[in-house]
Amino acid sequence: AELDTLDILVLGVILLGTFAYLTKGTLWAKQKDPYANAAYLNGNAARAGKTRNFVEKMEESGKNCIIFYGSQTGTAEDYASRLAKEGKSRFGLETMVADLEEYDFDAMDTLPSDKIAFFVMATYGEGEPTDNAVEFYEFINGDDVAFSQGGEDAPLDNFHYVAFGLGNNTYEHYNSMVRDVDRLLTKYGAHRIGNAGEGDDGAGTMEEDFLAWKEPMWAALAAHMGLEEREAVYEPVFGITVREGLTPQSPEVYLGEPNKMHLEGAQKGPFNAHNPYIAPIAESYELFKVKDRNCIHLEIDISGSTLSYTTGDHIAIWPTNAGDEVDRFLRVTGLTDKREQVISVKALEPTAKVPFPTPTTYDAIVRYHLEIGAPVSRQFVSTLAAFAPNEEIKTEMTKLGSDKDYFHEKTGSQLFNIARLLEHVGNGETWDKIPFSAFIEGLTKLQPRYYSISSSSHVQPKKISVTAVVESSMVVGRQDPFRGVATNYLLALKQKQNGDPEPSPFGLTYELHGPRNKYDGIHVPVHVRHSNFKLPSDPAKPIIMIGPGTGVAPFRGFIQERAQQAREGINVGRTILFFGCRKSTEDFMYESEFEEYKKALGDKFELVTAFSRESSKKVYVQHRLKERSAEISDLLSQKAFFYVCGDAANMAREVNTVLAQIIAEGRGVSESKAEEIVKNMRAANQYQEDVW
């Protein structure tokens, strides 16, 4: 038989492998770091060649429990890791965590009945799957689902699963992802173990919902699989090796670079959630006229990249942790003296992934890769108790970890981040017995933050505007307010660009020059996420926009686009914006710009304002909307598009209610009928939300 290309390739690989074995790798030892994490070597190469059949993967790696996650902001992924860890340490399950995106699901029906699959599913936006769960969801929710072994009534009869959802009850489609997945799996004959848990971010009870769900779930699973609970002993997932021969100056050491291409100094697309573009900030300025609150406008230049966007998309900003919080973390964990020490981090078991590239330094990991600012979870407190500096502190940590009420009484309202909690409980002691692996396992990866792009791609295709209000929230029981990670970093960048050589907003310091000064000259790492929040394709269609506060962001883009179209002589439909803020003299952003758009759009454009603190009675956008009932109703009958952007918790829901009232009145139908009409508008994309 002839050798085809594949045969030759395979042969070649075998030969190479043999050669490598014989030479013991000495020939390429220089290029390839034996400790380096393959996933970061070059983009997607690590993905190639891996099986996408999870049953096979479990078989190969000797696993009997796979924990899938559908995660957007990292919480579901974090819960998945925690379940994996707990399943192993308490019940001896051979667990692996799996990104839904990395597997196919047609062979689900071949999972043996003595194995178990977990689904930890976040619901995103309007009941949508998270980006990494889209394919899985489309498969399982498809009209013609075909499993590998085909056609029985209950193709998944052997399939046993556990389910937990992460949702937010202020959204209409609360936890729809876990509900749908549970329903569909059941429909195909699969068997759920325990309840399908639901965590509620809207009520702020996500963590406690998760903890409350998992105990009975473990009991049910243990009964089902015949597992014996054992004394949980901490086993690190990652091994840390000190690299004596390397210094932070060694070219192969990652100092915060997100991947190998960045380390080698080449920025190459595609730019996405694994590979940001280090973009120049062309311009930045303050939008508020008050001292105590900030809202930043940024112009991000993407002309040097392959990035593109369309009006209504989102941009992700990759933040850097504040220097003070990095210092605090290193100090309380006893790592200050070792911060520049070069280490390699290696997964001790084949299915775990190191969430950042190595070799690197403790400083770089803490500054660029771990979410050290987020409130610490009670379960993590419990894990760390074993490594307390002394018995007394250990007792306190154990109590905090196991007693919900005590935890909330002692720390809850102060929302300590990890380092602040350790400082608080540790009474000045250093926590140097905690294996560093525990932090990599227990803390979320530092997440990019999304912003609704506030410019029009029609007007400025290579420059992306961002409108970001700087997060600063008072915390009960704490002296200093909590300062948001990304927005204070952006504030520091803005200050530097506008002439402050050593910016330190609210005393926070940042390494604005980035790893190896790669962000110098005011750069920020970004990528673009495409959204479904879009203008009607026909510019003559009327649009109604509800965008109080930073909810105005995408609408600035919409109006910028329509003003430009009007200047070009295109027939533009009626364009109404409902904008709200506290006071016209304080936080009325883009006021003068809207006047410019008005000149171009004339009567087509109307800005309706609601200032909540200018009269004794608070006036919000939904009140203004109600006042305009007749006109809104009329526009809707002309098929106007209706958009809402901003606060998901209250505003979006109230606007929805008011809209139903307007429709009920305008068309003489009952409120429940009107609500149904609003639902249909949503389904038809005539009603679009971009809320957070």
Minimal CB distance residue for ligand FAD: 484
- From the candidates 78, 200, 587, 690, which is the catalytic residue? 690
Quick one: which of 78, 10, 665, 591 has its CA closest to 288? 591
- From the candidates 452, 456, 457, 472, which is the catalytic residue? 452
Dihedral pair phi/psi, residue 239, rounded to 5°: -100, 140
Residue 418 identity: I
CA 145 to CA 254: how far, in whole Å? 44
* Structure tokens belonging to residue 680: 């249909």
**Smallest distance, ligand FAD to C-beta of residue 455, A:** 11
* Cβ atoms of 125 and 81 closer than 8 Å: no
CA 456 to CA 447: how far, in whole Å? 26
The 10 Å Cβ neighbour count of residue 148 is 14
Would you say 32 or 530 has its CB closer to ligand FAD? Answer: 530
Residues in contact with ligand FAD by the rule CB under 6 A: 314, 319, 373-375, 415, 417, 449-452, 467-469, 471, 473, 475, 482, 484-487, 550, 553, 692
* Structure tokens belonging to residue 352: 């775990």
**Smallest distance, ligand FAD to C-beta of residue 417, A:** 4
Give me the sign of the Cα torsion angle 560, 565, 569, 571. Answer: negative
Helix axes 391-402, 418-426, angle to 10 degrees: 130
Does residue 538 carry a catalytic annotation? no
DSSP, collapsed to helix, strand or coil, labels residue 235 as coil
> Which residues, 6 or more positions from 163, have their beta carbon under 8 angstroms from its beta carbon?
118, 119, 120, 121, 178, 181, 182, 185, 192, 196, 197
Residue 608 identity: V
Would you say 597 or 692 has its CB closer to ligand FAD? Answer: 692
**Smallest distance, ligand FAD to C-beta of residue 590, A:** 13
Does residue 690 carry a catalytic annotation? yes
Angle, CA of 101, 104 and 107, to the nearest 5°: 150
**Smallest distance, ligand FAD to C-beta of residue 415, A:** 3
**Smallest distance, ligand FAD to C-beta of residue 570, A:** 27
Quick one: which of 128, 456, 449, 450 has its CA closest to 312? 456
**Smallest distance, ligand FAD to C-beta of residue 391, A:** 28
Would you say 455 or 550 has its CB closer to ligand FAD? Answer: 550
* Cβ atoms of 60 and 51 closer than 8 Å: yes
**Smallest distance, ligand FAD to C-beta of residue 148, A:** 37
Would you say 164 or 450 has its CB closer to ligand FAD? Answer: 450
- From the candidates 65, 313, 645, 647, which is the catalytic residue? 645
> Which residues, 6 or more positions from 622, have their beta carbon under 8 angstroms from its beta carbon?
546, 651, 654, 655, 657, 658
**Smallest distance, ligand FAD to C-beta of residue 306, A:** 22
Would you say 485 or 577 has its CB closer to ligand FAD? Answer: 485
CA 553 to CA 575: how far, in whole Å? 15
CA 93 to CA 102: how far, in whole Å? 22
Would you say 323 or 375 has its CB closer to ligand FAD? Answer: 375
Does residue 692 carry a catalytic annotation? yes
Angle, CA of 144, 150 and 154, to the nearest 5°: 85
Would you say 449 or 574 has its CB closer to ligand FAD? Answer: 449
Would you say 79 or 103 has its CB closer to ligand FAD? Answer: 79
Residue 518 identity: K
CA distance to 39, 208, 402, per residue, from 198 (Å) = 32, 11, 21
**Smallest distance, ligand FAD to C-beta of residue 689, A:** 10
**Smallest distance, ligand FAD to C-beta of residue 444, A:** 11
Would you say 509 or 661 has its CB closer to ligand FAD? Answer: 509
Q: What is the DSSP letter of 579?
A: E
CA 658 to CA 578: how far, in whole Å? 13
Would you say 148 or 310 has its CB closer to ligand FAD? Answer: 310
Does residue 452 carry a catalytic annotation? yes
CA 232 to CA 285: how far, in whole Å? 53
* Structure tokens belonging to residue 564: 């430009």
161 bridge partner residues:
117, 192
Per-residue 3-state assignment (H helix, E strand, C coil) for 108-123: HHHCCCCCEEEEEEEE
DSSP, collapsed to helix, strand or coil, labels residue 502 as coil
CA 77 to CA 68: how far, in whole Å? 8
Q: Any idea which residues carry the catalytic annotation?
A: 452, 645, 690, 692
